[in-house]
Amino acid sequence: MHYVYFLRSLTRPTKTYVGHTEDVNARLSVHNSGSVPSTTRFRPWELISYIVVRDEQTSIDLEQYFKSGSGHAFWHKRFM
């Protein structure tokens, strides 16, 4: 299984991050360790939601959608 996950910064709650992975808990640990340059500044992060899909390409496509303007607006309108 593959996941599209949504994180929120605990130090700046208006900051969110979207990514994809095969292991959500391991990936959250990587973000919180400071190993991801784009998320280091706003750590620690909390997992706020994830979507499970069957294949990697679908997770990549969904991640890109949620990072787009309309996907970002959809996410924030429905879940934030």
Distance CA 9, CA 61 (A): 23
Q: What is the pLDDT of residue 75?
A: 80
Question: Token pair of 42, please?
Answer: 């706003």
Give the per-residue pLDDT at 80: 67
Rounded to the nearest angstrom, the gap between the alpha carbon of residue 72 and the centroid of all alpha carbons in its chain is: 11
Cis ω before 44 (30° cut-off from 0): yes
As a whole number of Å, the CA-based R_g of the chain is 12
pLDDT for 48 equals: 94
pTM: 0.91
Question: What domains lie within the chain, and their CATH numbers?
Answer: 2-79 (3.40.1440)
pLDDT at 8: 95
d(CA 49, CA 57): 19
Averaged over successive runs of 10 residues, the pLDDT of the chain (80 residues) comes to: 96 94 97 95 96 96 94 80
